[in-house]
Amino acid sequence: MENQELVEIALEEGRDRMSKAVAHLRGELGSIRTGRAAPALVEHLKVEVYGADAELRQLASVSVPEARLLMISPYDRGTIGSIEKAIQASDIGITPSSDGQVIRLAFPPLTEERRRELVKVARHKGEEAKVAVRNLRRSFRHEVEGLEHGGDISSDEMERAEHAMEKVTQSIISEIEGMVSKKELDLMEV
């Protein structure tokens, strides 16, 4: 395998892993309540049914008939009790109401104080994502240094590779900051 190929493979792997960190952050930010109902708030809840855990989205369809109302329609009516129990045990902070057919979650408007708390949560999740990206950059740097010490690439090639990874890292961090800023605006919007 050619020297430059080794570096390209390492770069591509680093980009891939960083984009997974961004995708994870996107999911995390989607689960932060903005005062509007969003299926992402409950889709990944673990529900114990028939002696096993399953995600809510596997057991029911989730719709948003109004801006502050989530409607959960279980595929099997026998799971309604388990779904309600999982919602009450979660950190959503909303009591479900059921008519035996569907479960409704009515979201009250967020207070100013709660909005500020959620902004802090969003910023914290953004910082965690940035730390993950920086750790991936460090891992890449160690890998490239290993290639250089092993004689597979020259020190110039190592520097070029590190510079390329630094560019990727900066663009990913900018993307993360943009996502967090957008979430902050959504949260503070009344």
Angle, to 10 degrees, between the axis of helix 112-149 and the axis of helix 3-30?
A: 170
- 103 burial type by CB count under 10 A (0-12 exposed, 13-18 middle, 19+ buried): buried
Predicted local distance difference test score (pLDDT) of residue 153: 82
Residue 100: CB atoms within 10 A of its CB come to 7
> Mean pLDDT across the chain, nearest whole number?
87
Backbone φ and ψ of 134, nearest 5°: -65, -35
pLDDT band at 181 (very low <50, low <70, confident <90, very high): very high
Per-residue pLDDT tens digits for 32-58 = 766 677 787 788 888 888 888 888 888
Find the mean pLDDT for residues 101-115. 85
User: Hey, where are the domains in the chain?
Assistant: 3-31+111-188, 39-106
Residue 106: CB atoms within 10 A of its CB come to 13
Higher pLDDT, 166 or 57: 166
In the three-class reduction of DSSP (H, G, I as helix; E, B as strand; rest coil), residue 115 is classed as helix
Per-residue pLDDT tens digits for 57-83 = 888 999 888 888 889 999 988 888 888
Predicted local distance difference test score (pLDDT) of residue 1: 53
- pTM metric for this prediction: 0.70
pLDDT over 90 (residue 95): no
- The topology (CATH level 3) of 3-31+111-188 is Topoisomerase I; Chain A, domain 4 (1.10.132)
What residues contact 165, with CB distance under 8 A and at least 6 apart? 11, 14, 137, 140, 141, 144
> Considering only the top CATH level, what class is 39-106?
alpha beta
Find the mean pLDDT for residues 21-34. 84
